[in-house]
Amino acid sequence: MQAENISSILSDRANKLQVFWSERARMQRIATLLGEARLGASAIARCLPALLVTLDWFGAPRNLVPSLPAQGAGFTVEDLRTLLVDIGFRSDYLARGKRDNLMESLPVGTLAITGEQCMLYLGRLDNKDWWHDGVSPVEGWQPSNDTELLMIQRKAGFLPIDAPQPDWFARLMAKAQSELLGIGLISLVTNLLALSVSLFTMTVYNSVIPSGATGTLTTLGLGAIVAIICGWGLRLGRATLLARMGAWAGTSIGTAAFRKTLGLPLEYSSRLGLNNNLNRMRSLEGVRQYLSGAGGVALVDYPFVLVFIVVIALLGGWIVFVPIIGLLLFWLAAWLVQPYVQRKSVHASRVGNRLLEEYSSGIQRLRSLQGISGNHHWLRRMRDMSSQAAKANRDLALAQALVQSIGQALGMFTVLGTMAAGIALVLSQGMTAGGLIATMMLVWHVTTPAQQFFSLSLRISQIKESRLQLERLMQSAGEAQHPQMYSPVEPLSPRIAVDHLYYRYTAEQEPALNGISFELQPGQRVVVVGPNGAGKSTLLQCLSGVRMPQSGRVVLDGRDIRQFDPADYRVWVGFHAQTLQNLPLSVRDFLKLSHPSASDERIVACFARVAGETWWSLLGCTSEEEALSLQLDPWREDPDALRIRHVVGMVEAVLDDPPLLLLDDPLRDGDPVLDGMFKRLLDSLRGVSTVVIATHRADLIETADLIVILDQGKLIHVGPVAPQNQIPAAQDSLKGPVHA
């Protein structure tokens, strides 16, 4: 009999998987993600599900969300090409001159785009061309002469964003190779034109004034003026190009770094801390600002100092050694001063971060500080830290002023040294007076970039460190390194097994979970109880896939949850965290972050299910539309705000009727307004979803089918819920403060 049951389960699972992987089901899931509004407005969007199936893309549809434009923004060809790049495909327009040769062997997956129409080429069958119009296959359609053909192919060597990305910055800059060469060429021409004024001055003093040939002065002057105007125009164009490149690089770096950060395991991000993550993003933004500002111009101009050095050597011979020695002194001074300024900068940054952490902690616990008599100790602590931060910033400002003054002094000494050497050459007939004047004009083109480079030497070292941070970030492994190599989670039954689960937050702490093992059957209601610090929240986070255990595993219907796409699994699971954190978004936008295809009708129905027919009144609103547009405030801690967070959090958890629902200490000690509705919601889920509740509340424990008791990370008991007077461990756990 048992063998027959196992055979039946396996057969049912195989049938579900076969349906899940069918082309029709795959297209339907992608179409659902795109949404009816986008599908109705764009023919390209309608063809996208069939296109991805034709291209044998088996990734989770949810992985497309970061590459889609905002809801209601349409879906253009450029949106499509951006999406294809993100998932590992390249797209190229077929030149009109090559159509006749390729139409007989047109690659499968080619798009034919004419105005508002889009057709997908499916291939040739029985000597007939088959196309797909986004709704159904079409036989025998032919593209017209004005149709654009977009060929799509898999990109060789593609690495998804969560995979380690070696030499990412170098590969990004390689994409702008032609622009960088253009900037270099413009800089070369600009610096060559800058020679014209110096050479014009030398010619006037050496030839025009001694000979009195004023007729040539007009011609030479016009030439110099034209060179100045051209140089000005080229510098303006270079600045524009640098600004655009900086914006492009900043957008590419910021987007990739943030997406990479979001894809990292929670353990990695939480180990860095909030301020370190923020500082990393700020430093990466600093790369963009530096490249598009004065620093980028100085970096571009500095190599062309060699042009002016060569010209000075041609004009004055050995006088060229003076600016060369000046450049060496600039380099030596930078080598000596930079470590000193670096220490001051690092100290100021650390003290500033500590002060910011204290401010953040104080603001988050403002009500607690206002309610105690000893808050003057906190004020004294803040005053001391503010004083330390001010002193550190003062020392940094003095160090930066020292760098500026040294740079200016070295520049002046180089100019004076060049003048002294030039006077000696003029007096010894080794150089003309015009040559000396021209040399003095040229030497400023040497000292000015050198001085800028010297003053920005600390900034350059910070940019190098930021680049190393970026490379380390991009080389780290995210959760979804192989987005097409995961098993589907949707067709599986919520049969959960926890097998020797072990999790430790840090090496210095005791394990939060230590060898936990139990099984849950589909449709069961399970409560997890235990004293504070027992590991209840950690267990639910491991069940939800938010945290991955160091040892042991969580098994869903016979499969380790690490076989599933992390984002796919977390959507399949409904999770209501103990500490609810909202983002500063409207209620509608917040819910669509985790449920991008949810319509307003579905959201409203779910609110009514969670909080009653007049649910909007609990949000302090007078209508459904006003409630959906309500801006969430992540900082409020008053009872009304906590109630709003609970209602919105529960809607987010149950919006898609998850087979597995995890509730971490919901409503804590209870809420007279929401308790009844919450229990009715749980009753409606009984036998439909597997519900796991971490709680201290006796009324919720009594309604459960199974109880799991934890203490200090260890499993004390698993079994059916007995009458309340027979579970002393659970009663003892209720005596502690309400915090898991």
Quick check: 44 pLDDT over 70?
Answer: yes
Q: Is 593 exposed, middle or buried (0-12, 13-18, 19+ CB in 10 A)?
A: exposed
- Which strands make up the sheet holding 148-154, listed edge to edge? 89-93, 148-154, 111-114, 117-125, 128-132, 137-139
pLDDT value for 730: 39
Of residues 106, 242, 110, 247, the one with CA closest to residue 182 = 242
Distance from C-alpha of 323 to C-alpha of 513, rounded to nearest angstrom: 68
Question: What pLDDT digit, counting tens, does each position of 144-203 carry?
Answer: 878 888 889 888 777 777 778 888 888 888 888 888 888 888 888 888 888 888 888 888
pLDDT, residue 288, reads 64
Pairing of strands 573-576, 551-556: unpaired
Strands 117-125 and 111-114, by their bridges, are: antiparallel
Give the mean pLDDT of 671-686. Answer: 86
Q: Tell me, what's the pLDDT at 606?
A: 92
Nearest CA-CA partner of 27 in 43, 47, 5 = 47
State how far the Cα of 473 lies from the Cα of 172, in Å rounded to an integer.
Answer: 15
Task: Tell me: pLDDT of 692 over 90.
Answer: yes
The answer on pLDDT for 432 being more than 70 is: yes
pLDDT exceeds cutoff 50 at 738: no
Could you report the per-residue pLDDT of 642-651, keeping only the tens digit for each? 888 888 989 9
Tokens 């620093």 label which residue? 295
- Count Cα neighbours of 168 within 13 Å in the Cβ-side half-sphere: 25
**Residue 413 pLDDT class (50, 70, 90 cuts):** very high
pLDDT at 605 over 50: yes
Query: 147 and 74 in contact (C-beta within 8 Å)?
Result: no
- Average pLDDT on 519-532 reads 90
Q: Is the pLDDT of residue 10 over 50?
A: no
pLDDT top residue among 353 and 682: 682
Q: Are 205 and 437 in contact (CB under 8 A)?
A: yes
Whole-angstrom distance, CA of residue 41 vs CA of residue 45: 8
Secondary structure, 3-state, 643-700: HHHHHHHHHHHHCCCCCEEEEECCCCCCCCCCHHHHHHHHHHHCCCCEEEEECCCHHH
How large is the average pLDDT for residues 210-229?
77
3-state secondary structure of 91: strand
What are the boundaries of each domain within the chain?
19-154, 168-475, 496-733
Distances in whole angstroms, Cα of residue 466 to Cα of each of 172, 173, 257, 341: 15, 15, 12, 17
Rounded Cα distance between 287 and 58, Å, is 37
pLDDT digits (tens, 9 = 90+) for 233-282: 888 888 888 888 877 887 888 788 888 877 777 767 666 666 666 666 66
Question: Does residue 1 register a pLDDT over 50?
Answer: no
Q: Helices 375-427 & 457-475, crossing angle to 10 degrees?
A: 120
Phi–psi pair at 171, nearest 5 degrees? -70, -30
- Range name among 93-97, 562-566, 715-719 with the lowest pLDDT average: 93-97
Q: How confident is the model at residue 733 (pLDDT cuts 50, 70, 90)?
A: very low
pTM, rounded to two decimals: 0.71
Q: Model confidence over 453-491: pLDDT tens digits?
A: 787 776 777 777 777 878 888 888 777 655 555 566 666
Mean pLDDT computed over every residue of the chain: 80
CATH 3.40.50.300 fits 496-733, yes or no: yes
Query: Domain spanning 19-154: which CATH class is it, in words?
Result: alpha beta
Q: Which position has the higher pLDDT, 269 or 547?
A: 547
For residues 346-368, average pLDDT: 73
Q: In the predicted model, is pLDDT for residue 739 greater than 60? A: no
DSSP string, 206-232: IIIHHHT-THHHHHHHHHHHHHHHHHH
What DSSP element (H or E) covers 114? strand 111-114
Per-residue tokens: 475: 């080389």
pLDDT at 13 (0 to 100) = 46
Within 8 A by CB and 6+ apart from 99, the residues are 149
What is the pLDDT averaged over residues 709-735? 67
Same topology for domains 19-154 and 496-733, yes or no? no
Instruction: Give me the pLDDT at residue 17, please.
Output: 46
- Say how far apart CA 329 and CA 228 lie, in whole Å: 31
pLDDT the model gives residue 15: 52
Per-residue 3-state assignment (H helix, E strand, C coil) for 257-272: HHHHHHHCCHHHHHHH
Contact by Cβ (8 Å): 323, 309: yes
Q: Please count the helices (runs of H) and the strands (runs of E) in the chain.
A: 28, 16
CATH number of the structural domain 168-475: 1.20.1560.10
d(CA 66, CA 82): 11
Q: What is the pLDDT of residue 2?
A: 45
- Give residue 207's pLDDT: 76
Q: Which of 29-33, 126-130, 295-299, 445-449 has the lowest mean pLDDT?
A: 295-299
pLDDT for the residue numbered 8: 52
DSSP assignments along 401-463, one per residue:
HHHHHHHHHHHHHHHHHHHHHHHHHHHTTSS-HHHHHHHHHHHHHHHHHHHHHHHTHHHHHHH
Compute the average pLDDT of residues 97-112. Answer: 74
- Determine the pLDDT at residue 6: 45
Output the pLDDT for position 734: 39
Mean pLDDT over 87-105 rounds to: 74
- Find the mean pLDDT for residues 46-57: 89
Taking residues 24-52, report their average pLDDT. 86
Give the pLDDT confidence score for residue 710 in this predicted structure.
Answer: 92
> For residue 731, what pLDDT is reported?
42
